[in-house]
Amino acid sequence: MKKGIAASKGYAIGYVSIKENEEIIITNDKVKDTKEEIERLVKALDISRTQIEEVKQKAFENMGEEKAAVFESHIMLLEDPEFVGAIKLEIEDNKTNAEKAVSSVSGTFLSIFEAMEDEYMKERAADIKDVSNRIVLNLLGKVKSLEIQEENTVLVAEDLTPSDTAQLDKEKVIAFLTNIGGRTSHSAIMARTLEIPAVVGMKDITSLVKNKDFVIVDGIEGNVIINPDKETIKIYEEKAKEYKKEVEELKSLIEVKTSTRSGKRIDVAGNIGQPEDVNKVIENGADGVGLFRTEFLYMDKDKLPTEEEQFESYKYVLQKMENKPVVIRTLDIGGDKKLSYLPLPEEMNPFLGYRAIRLCLDRVDIFKVQLRALLRASVFGNLKVMFPMISSLSEFLKAKDIVEECKKELKAENIKYSDSIEWGIMVEIPAAAVCAKELAKHVDFFSIGTNDLIQYTLAADRMSEKVSYLYEPMHPAVLSLIKMTIEGAHGEGKWCGMCGEMAGDIDAIPTLVEYGLDEFSMSASSILGAKKVILDQE
């Protein structure tokens, strides 16, 4: 038995097909005619664009609009003046061959994105790697394809790119295994979308198996059994049947309103990063959107989004949710999330520095554009707005003063906005949790951001392998701060939600229900499982 990381739940029993990596040899040869080399690059970019359009169509057919949208960002990267411009400059200035120039520039971009903590940004690293690899293959005249002919195939690879997973035929590929990756890697996310089992981070699975080996994939425990005996096969066939039954039972909860056995109503909401993500939240029967991370509207761009662009995005989500609550977080840039067109100061501790609400209160010009867009969109649904990284009451009151300025401007322009918007804060700094009782007198709600709250409380970077063992959601200090926050809200008759990873943790949910948490917000794929656990609580 070989152990890895369970990235997508389920069981599969089938035959191995190893994805051979296309050999890419890039030389350091210099070119004489830079103009001709740039023409080669432009041709490869055009071919890549056509291929990605085809992949996008396949993704739409196999996985729906939300995942197909990933390939819009691939096309945008091909047209990104900063990315393509840097490649052309490398060719012109250093007479670098096109393959080497693409590799060098994408390597620089990759190192930046891979160092980031945010899951979405790590996905972007996979996108950059995928696109640059495609460009190089086209420059070399090689074909990039992943055709699986046999049914009951367990695909085994070093890693799978977004393009690879988008092209997988679910009728033939029943699971996949990779040497590298984690639960938040792009291949893992795609596997969950396709609803096929996956075990990743196996280190050497490509060398342990050979084509046509018979394997059992346990996507629950993260185990792989190579060439099992008949008795083991029988055991896992039963497990697969049981799991399938559980999945069907969970689907029956889509329309169910979640309450504990004692009758307390609890909302289960979804987190989104892009407007189109709302479709998956709706499919899983969410009671609302508990976190719309608006910073992603500012990324994949070469300038700040306009008020109109933001307005359309907020309006789209509010209308899709049909008056269910939508909690939108204002711009949370800084730390690991930076914008190429908005230079931020270099800091020793950027996660504790000039970011989120601190940046917005300083750059009121940027903040007001977003607030005006939010106010205008508020007439199209049930909007709630929260400010991130609040550490003191004065920050919240300053933000509210700017909101009032925006209201006056809109009123003078005869532009409508709703007077029933709730204004809250994200409790992710221990100071806010400790002062929850006082803050609750002024805010309309709290939403606990456990990802940062845990690491700030325990002084443990969850992305650091050396100290990850200290990152413990159920640590007494963390639980104490969570309880303090919930009690602080309830003491003033306000509601308290949670939008960090902990909200979807089935081991943590019973404790959070006991503490009186009113709303749990999580990734769309966790919603039904969370509903089931909550329904079983007293």
As annotated, the active-site residues are 186, 499
How far apart CA 478 and CA 192 sit, in angstroms, is: 29
In terms of DSSP H, where are the helices of 155-209? 162-166, 186-194, 205-208
The angle at the Cα of 251, spanning 245 to 253, to the nearest 5 degrees, equals 120
Residue 293 marked ligand-binding: yes
Residue 451 marked ligand-binding: yes
Angle between helices 119-139 and 186-194 (to 10 degrees): 100
What is the edge-to-edge ordering of all strands in the sheet holding 198-200?
2-3, 223-226, 214-218, 11-18, 153-157, 173-178, 198-200, 5-8
Residues 6+ apart with CB under 8 A from 232: 216, 225
Amino acid at 182: G
Backbone angles phi, psi at 68, to 5 degrees: -65, -30
Name the helix (H) or strand (E) containing 407.
Answer: helix 393-412
Torsion sign, CA atoms 456, 457, 463, 465? positive
Residue 40 marked ligand-binding: no
Number of Cβ atoms within 10 Å of the Cβ of 317: 23
Residues 6+ apart with CB under 8 A from 17: 148, 150, 153, 154, 155, 156, 211
Backbone angles phi, psi at 41, to 5 degrees: -60, -50
Amino acid at 51: Q
* Longest alpha-carbon distance in the chain: 78
Residue 462 marked ligand-binding: yes
Name the helix (H) or strand (E) containing 213.
Answer: none
How far apart CA 363 and CA 370 sit, in angstroms, is: 12
How far apart CA 477 and CA 389 sit, in angstroms, is: 19
- Residue positions forming the annotated binding site for Mg(2+): 428, 452
Q: Binding site membership: which residues?
A: 293, 329, 428, 451-452, 462
Residue ranges of the binding site for phosphoenolpyruvate: 293, 329, 451-452, 462
